[in-house]
Structure 1
Amino acid sequence: MTTTPMRIVHCVRSPIGGIFRHIRDLATTQAEAGHDVGLICDSSTGSAFDNELVAELEPKLALGVARFPMQRQLTFKDLSATFALYRHMRDLKPDILHGHGAKGGAYARLIGTVLNVTGQKVSRVYCPHGGSLHYDPNRIEGRIYHQLEAFLGRLTDGLIFVSDYESAAYESKIGHPRAVTRIVYNGLTPEEFTPVSANEDAADFLYIGMLRDLKGPDLFIEALYNIRLKNGVAPTAHIVGEGPDEERYRNMVKKLDMENAITFHGALPAREAFKLAKNVVVPSRAEAMPYIILETVAAQRPLIATRVGGIPEIFGRYAHRLVEPGHIGKLTLAMEAALEAPATMDRQAEELRGCLAETFSVELMGDRITTLYQELRGLAPSEASAPGTASKASAASRAQSIFARSSNR
C-alpha cells in the first residue's frame, strides 16, 4: 500500500451492524497506515453496545468522530442536516469523502460536489452496502430511490461494491456506472479464524443480526414453531441483536407460546454469541456481503443461510447448501436436518472455513480501497483504463450470470 498520506472522511447514517463493522476496520487500517481519518454518523442511532464501539474508534482517528441527527427516510430535516454536515466537512478539508449506505453516500457526494465547486479538490467515493439496491424497481419507492441513485452516480468519482452480486444489482437497477469501480470483499482479521466452541448448555439455534424483516427473524421464529408442531417439542434458541421490529418479534414469540424456548438478548460480540448455540441461522431476505456469514464461517460454527446477495460468493462450491430466501418450508427442513445430523453440520463448517481466509482478509480489503483513493488522487497507477470498469469480468456478463444462477436454484 502506498504511504502517501491523505485526509479521509467516512460518512454513514447508522453506526451499527455490518456496515459499521466495515467502516471501523477500514478506518483503523487507514489510520495505522498514516492517513488522517475521520467519521461522521447519526447521533440518534445505536444502543449502548454500538455507542461503545464508536467511542473505542474515536481515539484512533486524527480527524475525530462527529455525530449529527440523520433521518433514515427522506424528509425535510435532511436540508438542515446537509447544511450542518457541509460546514463540518468543509472545515476538515478532506481529500476523500467516502459515503457508506444510501443516506451516507448521498451526503458525501452532494457535499463533495459543492466543495469541489468552491475550490476544494475532493474525491467522492460511494459504497452502497445494499441500501437502495434492496428496493424493488417495479414499486414506486424503488423507482424513486433508483432515480436518485442514477443522479448521484453523476457526482461519483469512485464506486466500491462489496460483492459481485451488488455490482450486478447496481447495473441492473441503476445503470452502467460512470465512476471508477472496484469490487472489494469485506474482510476479517487473522484472529477471527480461530474456531469457537459452543457452551455445554448451548441451545439448538442462534439468530444474530439486526431485528428487522429484511433479515428474517420472523422466519426463524416461525420455523422453530413449525418444528414444535411436528415434534411436539420446540428447539431451544437465542435471538441476539437489536432493531426497529424487536417488539413485534417479542409479541410473536409470546403469541406462539414459545417464550420458554426462545431467549432474546441485546447486541453481543459475534464470537461471544456463537457460544450460545450449536447452529447459527441467517434467514435473510436480502443482503450485500454480510459480515455475520463471514464471522460464522471463520469461527467454524455450523451455519444455515439463505441464497441472497453475496452469500453464494462466500460459499463458493458449497453454495448448493443454501436455502431459498423467504421459503419457510425449506428453512424449517434445513433446521430439522441440522438437529438430526449434528456431525454433518460440524463437517460442513470445517470444509467451508478452509476456503475463506485468503479471499476475505481485512488487510486486503483496506489495501484495495485505499489504493483506489490514491488512484483518484493521481498518486498511484490505475488498475482500470476507463471509468465504470471493474477489476474482474465485465459487470454486464456478471449481472447476467449471477441473476441466472439465482433464478435457476
Structure 2
Amino acid sequence: MKILALTNLYPNPLQPHRAAFNRHRFRFLAGHHEVRLIAPVSWRDEWALRGAGARIPPGRRTTCDGIAVEHPRYWYTPGVLRGQYGRFFEASVRGAFDRAVRELQPDIVLATWAYPDGWAAVRLARRHGLPVAVLVHGSDVRRMDEFAARRNGTREALCEADGVIAVSADLAARVVALGAAPDRVATVLDGVDRTLFHPGERADARRRLGLGDDHRHLLYIGNLLPVKGVDVLLQACQVLDATRRDWCLHLVGDGAERPRLQAQAQAAGLAGRVLFHGAQPHAALPDWLRAADLFVLPSRSEGIPNVLLEASACATPYVASRVGGIPEIAALGAGVLVPPEQPQALAEAIDHALDAPPAQPADGPRDRREAVGEIAAFLARTAARTREPPALSRSAAV
C-alpha cells in the first residue's frame, strides 16, 4: 500500500522528541508499506523556538526513519476564530498535500488526531477522490466539548471519514455515539517496542542515570500540559511530604505548564525533591522506567497512554487515574487506579504502593508491530471497500 499521512503529532527539527509514539508507529508501518508524511508545524511553535539553534530546512522537507516528511507552517489565529481552525489547517497544508498526491499516488490518506487534522484530511482527500481514515487518540474526542467549533469539526471528520481507528474500546464507543457507522470503526489497542521496553536491573539503570539509592524514586513521563494533571500530582506530593520524606519525584517531559509547575513546587516547599529533567530521547525512557520505584500518571483525560504500556513492559509498578481507556490495560501491568482530580487519594495510593507494590501479571503488553499490522489491515480493507462499485439493485440487475 501507498499511505499518505497527515498529522501534527510527529517530530520536526524544532521538536525532535515530539509524539515519539506516533513516530514509531509510522516507522513500523513504513517497514511494509510506502509511507509519506505531512507534519505541519505551528507558526507559534516556530516563533517560540526560533532561538533554540535548530531550524526547519529550506523547502521544509526532511527524512525521518527513512520516511519523506514535509513540514508546512500551520497558520491560525490564537484563541480567536476557533470555528475556522479546520479551514486554516486545510489551507496551510494544501500545497504539500497536492504535491504528495502527485508524487506518491497514494491508495489511502491517514490522519492522526480528529480536528483539525482529520477534518482537513477528509476534505483534501475528497478533492482527489481518495479514501481517508482517521486515527483518534483520546483527548481529541474526550475533550472536544471544550469548544463548540472543535465539537462540530470532530463530529464531521469522524462521520465523513471512510474509516476510524480508535486506540481503546471506550474511545470507539464515543466515536459511534457521535454518529460514525459502527462497521467503519475499529479498535486497535497499541503495543510497545519490546526490543526497547523490557525488564532490566534497577541498579544498572540508576547508575547510568546518576540516581542514588538514598531515596525512593517516583517518576512521571509526559507532556507538561493541564490535561496531564501534574499539578494534581504536586498537590499529592505535598500531602505525602507530611508523612514521609524518603522520596523524590522526577518529571521527564516539557510543555507550556513547566514554569507554573516549577513555581507550584517551590511554593509547596518541594523544590529540592521535585526534579524537572525536560524532554528526553525515546531510547532513554526504558532506563528511567527501570530506575523508578513507582511510575505515576495523574491525567485528567486519556485514550490509551503509551507510557503506561511501556511501564508495564519494563515491570515498573504504577499509580494512574481511572480515566479513558486506562482500565482496559490495567491487567497488563502492576497498576493501581485512583479517581482523577483527588490529590488525597493519589497520595495515599502512592504511599501504599511504595511500601507494598502491586503484583506483576504473567503477561504484559503486546509488541507494537502487531498493533501496526492491525492498522495496516484496516487501511487495506477501507481502501478496497471504497474502490468497490455500488451493488446493483434487483430491479436494475434484471
Tell me the TM-score normalized by structure 1.
Answer: 0.77
Q: Deviations over 1:234-289 (max 9, x none)?
A: 73111111111111101101111211111111112321322553211111111001
- Out of 271, 286, 298, the position equivalent to 2:313 is 298
Percent of matched pairs sharing the same residue: 20
Specify the alignment match of 2:351 in structure 1: 336
1:110 aligns with 2:105: no
Instruction: Give the CA deviation at 1:150.
Output: 2.2
- Out of 107, 115, 133, the position equivalent to 1:95 is 107
1:85 aligns with 2:83: no
Specify the alignment match of 2:393 in structure 1: none
Q: Deviations over 1:139-181 (max 9, x none)?
A: xx35442222222234201100000011122234x23437711
- Out of 135, 157, 161, the position equivalent to 1:156 is 161
2: CA distance, partners of 1:147 / 1:78: 11
- Work out whether residues 167 and 183 of structure 1, in 8 Å CA contact, stay in contact via their aligned partners in 2: yes
CA gap 1:286/1:80 in 2 versus in 1, 3 angstroms? closer
Specify the alignment match of 1:230 in structure 2: 243
Q: Deviations over 1:164-210 (max 9, x none)?
A: 011122234x2343771111111212213421343261543111111
- Out of 355, 364, 374, the position equivalent to 1:356 is 364
Q: Deviations over 1:348-397 (max 9, x none)?
A: 2x32xx3224xx32122111111122112228999xxxxxxxxxxxxxxx
Partner amino acid, structure 2, of 1:335: I
2: CA distance, partners of 1:81 / 1:176: 23
Instruction: Give the CA deviation at 1:335.
Output: 1.0
CA gap 1:64/1:55 in 2 versus in 1, 3 angstroms? closer
Question: What SS does the aligned partner of 1:378 have?
Answer: helix
- Work out whether residues 208 and 240 of structure 1, in 8 Å CA contact, stay in contact via their aligned partners in 2: yes
Specify the alignment match of 1:289 in structure 2: 304
Question: What SS does the aligned partner of 1:321 have?
Answer: strand
1:201 aligns with 2:212: yes
- Out of 245, 264, 274, the position equivalent to 1:252 is 264
- Out of 108, 111, 133, the position equivalent to 1:125 is 133
Specify the alignment match of 1:9 in structure 2: 4
Q: Deviations over 1:285-341 (max 9, x none)?
A: 1100110000000011121111111111111388983111111111010011123x2
CA gap 1:51/1:127 in 2 versus in 1, 3 angstroms? farther
Specify the alignment match of 1:264 in structure 2: 276
Instruction: Give the CA deviation at 1:14.
Output: 3.8
1:373 aligns with 2:386: no
- Work out whether residues 375 and 381 of structure 1, in 8 Å CA contact, stay in contact via their aligned partners in 2: no
- Work out whether residues 83 and 150 of structure 2, in 8 Å CA contact, stay in contact via their aligned partners in 1: no
Instruction: Give the CA deviation at 1:84.
Output: 3.7
Specify the alignment match of 2:325 in structure 1: 310
1: CA distance, partners of 2:337 / 2:290: 23
1:145 aligns with 2:150: yes
Specify the alignment match of 1:188 in structure 2: 192
Higher RCO (C-alpha 8 Å, min separation 6):
1
